A and B are shown apart, each in its own frame.
Chain A
Amino acid sequence: MNTSVLAIDDSRTIRMLLQQVLEQAGFDVECAEDGVEGVAKFDELKPDVVITDINMPNMDGFGVISRLRGDEVKTAVPILVLTTENSAELKTRARDLGATGWIVKPFDDVALVQVLHRVTGHG
């Protein structure tokens, strides 16, 4: 079975890019448009790894991480943050909430796929 990825990003463009790159690399990809939809889809899809943006309407990336790592869901699935932000403060905040890794947009195809393989241990 392929590794399944849940990608949460409010930008249609980024969602399409992720989908294209990751599907080519053999992942199953599902997308969500914001944190609320992302958390809901997580329950439903039980993905192997989550990629989330930070700045999103309705629920941002920090909200997603704390929901997934919180009492409600409490998953140990790797959560990667994919964002244009790069400040140490935000990184620390994401890590404290439970993020597994931090990737800066624009992302590099090859590196992204490698990071996904690395955190999931698949492939």
Chain B
Amino acid sequence: MGESDDIRAMFFEECNDLMEALFEGLKLLEDNTPEPDTVNAVFRAVHSIKGGAGAFKLDDLVSFAHKFETVLDELRADRLSRDDALVQTMLRAADHLAHLVEVSQFDGEINSERGEALLEELDFYVAGEEDEEEVAFEPMTLNFGGIDIEAPSKPTVSVRFQPFEKLYFNGHDPLLLIDALGSQGELSIEIDLDALPALDEYASETPTLTFLLTFTADDPETVVDEVFEFVDGICRLEVVRNDGDDGGDGGSSLEADLSPEPPEQDEPAQANPTEIEQGSKVAAEPSTKAKNIVRNDAVAVQPTLRVELDKVDRLINTVGELIINQAMIAQRIDMLNLPGDGDLESDMADYKLLARELQEGVMSIRAQPVKSLFQRMARITREAGDATGKSVRFVTHGENTEVDKTVIERLADPLTHMIRNAVDHGLEDREGRLAAGKPETGQISLSASHKSGNVMIEVVDDGAGLNRDRILDIAINKGLVSRDSDLTDPEIDMLLFLPGFSTNDEVSELSGRGVGMDVVKTAVQALGGRISINSTPGNGTKFSIVLPLTLAVMDGIVISVAGETMIVPITAVVETLRPKESEVFRMGVDQDLLMIRGEYVPIVDVRKKLGLADSQDQQEQLVLVLVESVDHSRCALCVDAIHDQRQVVIKAVGGNYGEIPGVSAATILGNGRIALILDTDHLTKVETISPPLPSNSKQDVKVAHA
């Protein structure tokens, strides 16, 4: 088959859609609220994956999908009825199918142990049905092998071929069939004149011609069989071998046993129309039913358009410019100080409104419902439940909440971590739950909602809650906090996010959480979001993530440094302050430290860092922006002034200037000037800022992370 990378990529993209449909259907089956077409849709999803996988010779995927499909076919045909065990098996089979798709796409290793076990489970539902269909995946073997020069020894057959009306009806042309035969051997054709009806018996509807063919080839019977395979039953076909001794001379004696399926010789043309009529009656019923379904679907499914991502990005960029342009015009009008009759101002307000609406509309093109992500998490939950032997119910809310495509893609890893943690560490085991008077089955819920221009994602478990004593113990033992530090409950909870908290395996065996939570926090921050914990002992834990709707716009604090206006991303900012003289200490030659609530924090002079003119007029009082990096270290940025907090449109600079240390992007301000967006992580990088801290303060510094 034509195997191009584009089509292969498209296949995997299609697989994603199909897996989504599959899980959606299975969920309906699980809740036992299937719509009439649910099983069909589920069947088709698996079937289409199989079909495409076959085209790319993904044999493992094909054979597993095939077995799965066979079970679904039984269900579809009502030979098997839905029960909870079956649905669970199908969900797990769907998980495995997703796994196989992933492995095929990214060259991973197949979890063949689970595959085998599932095949057995599936087999249980279709015992004895399989063997016959095993051959279904032999590609069609049409042997059109080269036309050999005839050697005298080749066998010859006589073929008597009489098309019925149905053969013409099915779109065949006897001439083409005969031609096909002629292309594979030596052929002579005659019309059987004896078979022609008398003129007064002639009926225009009934085919009258009978062909007498003499065909010579290596294996003439097989060729004839192949060529006439699909007209079997809609013509009369008699093949007689003309081998001197054993076959006789093609006489009438062989007519009976060589005709593969002797059709009724009398009135074949009349026998067939009734058959056809029946056929179309049978078919007519499902198709009227299909019509109804179409009508329903037309209401439910919105037509969609596939657009290249580049085009959308270009549009988003242009709309960003428009927003900036609108801000510029507004600022200019302001500066004119026009005597207000208000017309211009109200027109301007309209412009602003339209520009914003346009922006939202364009942004929404990139937005996708979180549904696919949530479905994936359902799978993660099942796997984690299986691995830990805990019984878990997975509940979702707000599946249709839309978030920027990139955000969805980058949320997958942090959510996976959190869900696994919630199952592994959050939920008690069966005995623990019963002892606590809770139902045996634990619950993990995942929800998404829009909240004041942001997206809120929550992962909630109904487990035992965080074990704060334990967490504190671990943190102390690992030297992350000092023994005598007095931390509030929320501060203790936040210790989970410290890098190094959970690098040791033994932590995961405790009821405390911690596997990779620092990684989660970093990933969320990289998306411009924040994460928080809320835990009640005995009642479970809630993790809340707040994310911006899109990555094209962000909130920032407008500062100025050496006469330049710049932006500090708000997600990095902890607070802004003017320190007292007594809170600033000089270290070494030119390193200043800020002492804030018992913590020493290095002060980074942004002016020097960026190599801006080092003016001497040192201000009376420092203006500091306390920022936190993704590695949770804190730093105070020294700036000239803090002006404002506002939303800015992010413009990449990398394409034009390459990577600029300390600068992540730029934006255009209302007055048309460009402002750089600071990369606080880079600005505050330890190795670039000569950081020798007082050695005994190390633990204290860490305390402040909490």
Known: A76-B168, A105-B51, A118-B180. A17 touches B1 (CB 8 A): yes
For A78, A97, A105, the residue with the greatest tally of chain B CB atoms inside 10 Å of its CB is A105
Question: What residues of A have a CB within 8 angstroms of the CB of B233 in the complex?
Answer: 92, 95
Question: What residues of A have a CB within 8 angstroms of the CB of B234 in the complex?
Answer: 95
Interface residues of B in 1-57 (CB under 8 A from A): 1-2, 4, 6-7, 10-11, 13-14, 37, 40-41, 43-44, 47-48, 50-52, 54-55, 57
Interface residues of B in 268-325 (CB under 8 A from A): 275-276, 279-280, 283-284, 286-287, 290-291, 293-294, 297
Q: Is A86 an interface residue (CB 8 A)?
A: yes
Question: What residues of A have a CB within 8 angstroms of the CB of B13 in the complex?
Answer: 12
Expressed in whole angstroms, the minimum distance between the Cβ of A107 and any Cβ of chain B is: 7
Question: What residues of B have a CB within 8 angstroms of the CB of A83 in the complex?
Answer: 51
CA distance A97 to B144 in the complex (A): 27
Question: What residues of A have a CB within 8 angstroms of the CB of B290 in the complex?
Answer: 35-36, 58-60, 63
Q: Is B171 an interface residue (CB 8 A)?
A: yes
Known: A17-B2, A100-B172. A10 touches B139 (CB 8 A): no
Question: What residues of A have a CB within 8 angstroms of the CB of B4 in the complex?
Answer: 20
How many chain B residues touch A (Cβ–Cβ < 8 Å)? 58
Known: A102-B230, A118-B180, A121-B175. A96 touches B47 (CB 8 A): no
Interface residues of A in 17-67 (CB under 8 A from B): 17, 20-21, 24, 35-36, 53, 55-60, 62-63, 65-67
Q: Is B265 an interface residue (CB 8 A)?
A: no
Question: What residues of A have a CB within 8 angstroms of the CB of B168 in the complex?
Answer: 76
* A53-B51, A75-B171, A106-B55 given; 9 more Cβ-contact pairs under 8 Å: A13-B10, A13-B48, A13-B51, A16-B10, A60-B286, A62-B286, A76-B171, A97-B279, A118-B179
Question: What residues of B have a CB within 8 angstroms of the CB of A77 in the complex?
Answer: 171
Closest residue of A by beta carbon distance from B296: A58
Whether B172 pairs with A14 at a CB distance below 8 angstroms is no
When A and B form their complex, what is the total count of cross-chain residue pairs whose Cβ atoms lie within 8 Å?
A: 172
Expressed in whole angstroms, the minimum distance between the Cβ of A8 and any Cβ of chain B is: 13
Q: Is B135 an interface residue (CB 8 A)?
A: yes
Whether B55 pairs with A121 at a CB distance below 8 angstroms is no
CA distance A67 to B2 in the complex (A): 31
Q: Is B256 an interface residue (CB 8 A)?
A: no
Closest residue of A by beta carbon distance from B173: A121
Question: What residues of B have a CB within 8 angstroms of the CB of A14 in the complex?
Answer: 48, 51-52, 55
Question: What residues of B have a CB within 8 angstroms of the CB of A107 in the complex?
Answer: 1, 55, 139-140
For B11, B48, B139, B169, the residue with the greatest tally of chain A CB atoms inside 10 Å of its CB is B48
CA distance A115 to B144 in the complex (A): 10
Q: Is A79 an interface residue (CB 8 A)?
A: yes
Pick the residue among A67, A79, A111 that contacts B144 (CB under 8 A). Answer: A111
CA distance A105 to B62 in the complex (A): 11
Pick the residue among B51, B133, B140 that contacts A87 (CB under 8 A). Answer: B133
Query: Could you tell me which B residues sit within 8 Å of A by CB distance?
Result: 1-2, 4, 6-7, 10-11, 13-14, 37, 40-41, 43-44, 47-48, 50-52, 54-55, 57, 132-133, 135-140, 142, 144, 168-173, 175-176, 179-180, 230, 233-234, 275-276, 279-280, 283-284, 286-287, 290-291, 293-294, 297
Question: What residues of A have a CB within 8 angstroms of the CB of B142 in the complex?
Answer: 108, 111, 114-115
Question: What residues of A have a CB within 8 angstroms of the CB of B297 in the complex?
Answer: 57-58
Whether A36 pairs with B294 at a CB distance below 8 angstroms is yes
Q: Is A11 an interface residue (CB 8 A)?
A: yes
Pick the residue among A10, A16, A58, A97 that contacts B293 (CB under 8 A). Answer: A58
Whether A84 pairs with B294 at a CB distance below 8 angstroms is no
Interface residues of A in 97-123 (CB under 8 A from B): 97-111, 114-115, 118-121
> Lowest 10 A-B CB distances belong to which pairs?
A66-B283, A78-B171, A106-B54, A100-B171, A13-B52, A13-B11, A86-B136, A111-B142, A63-B287, A96-B279
Question: What residues of B have a CB within 8 angstroms of the CB of A106 in the complex?
Answer: 1, 51, 54-55, 57, 139
Question: What residues of B have a CB within 8 angstroms of the CB of A119 in the complex?
Answer: 171-173, 176
Known: A21-B2, A121-B179. A96 touches B287 (CB 8 A): no
Closest residue of A by beta carbon distance from B7: A16
Whether A95 pairs with B140 at a CB distance below 8 angstroms is no
Known: A86-B136, A95-B230, A104-B139. A58 touches B294 (CB 8 A): yes
Expressed in whole angstroms, the minimum distance between the Cβ of A31 and any Cβ of chain B is: 13
CA distance A119 to B142 in the complex (A): 14
Whether A17 pairs with B7 at a CB distance below 8 angstroms is yes
Known: A77-B171, A95-B234, A119-B172. A104 touches B1 (CB 8 A): no
CA distance A103 to B51 in the complex (A): 13
Expressed in whole angstroms, the minimum distance between the Cβ of A24 and any Cβ of chain B is: 7
Whether B280 pairs with A97 at a CB distance below 8 angstroms is yes
CA distance A97 to B291 in the complex (A): 19
Question: What residues of B have a CB within 8 angstroms of the CB of A86 in the complex?
Answer: 133, 135-136
CA distance A2 to B367 in the complex (A): 42
Pick the residue among B6, B50, B136, B275 that contacts A96 (CB under 8 A). Answer: B275
Expressed in whole angstroms, the minimum distance between the Cβ of A96 and any Cβ of chain B is: 4
Closest residue of B by beta carbon distance from A71: B280
Question: What residues of A have a CB within 8 angstroms of the CB of B287 in the complex?
Answer: 35, 59, 63, 66-67
16 example contacts (A-B, Cβ-Cβ < 8 A) are as follows: A10-B48, A12-B13, A12-B14, A14-B51, A36-B290, A57-B44, A63-B286, A66-B279, A77-B171, A84-B54, A86-B135, A93-B279, A97-B279, A97-B283, A98-B279, A114-B144
Question: What residues of A have a CB within 8 angstroms of the CB of B41 in the complex?
Answer: 57
Expressed in whole angstroms, the minimum distance between the Cβ of A12 and any Cβ of chain B is: 5
Closest residue of B by beta carbon distance from A78: B171
Question: What residues of B have a CB within 8 angstroms of the CB of A16 in the complex?
Answer: 6-7, 10
CA distance A92 to B233 in the complex (A): 9
Question: What residues of B have a CB within 8 angstroms of the CB of A114 in the complex?
Answer: 142, 144
Whether B171 pairs with A79 at a CB distance below 8 angstroms is yes
CA distance A59 to B172 in the complex (A): 24
CA distance A28 to B56 in the complex (A): 24
Expressed in whole angstroms, the minimum distance between the Cβ of B172 and any Cβ of chain A is: 6
CA distance A119 to B173 in the complex (A): 7
Question: What residues of B have a CB within 8 angstroms of the CB of A93 in the complex?
Answer: 279
Known: A79-B171, A84-B50. A65 touches B55 (CB 8 A): no
CA distance A21 to B3 in the complex (A): 10
Question: What residues of A have a CB within 8 angstroms of the CB of B293 in the complex?
Answer: 57-58
Question: What residues of A have a CB within 8 angstroms of the CB of B280 in the complex?
Answer: 66, 69-70, 97
Closest residue of B by beta carbon distance from A53: B51
Known: A13-B14, A98-B169. A84 touches B136 (CB 8 A): yes
Pick the residue among A17, A55, A100 that contacts B55 (CB under 8 A). Answer: A17
Expressed in whole angstroms, the minimum distance between the Cβ of A123 and any Cβ of chain B is: 12
Known: A55-B43, A58-B297, A104-B139. A66 touches B284 (CB 8 A): yes
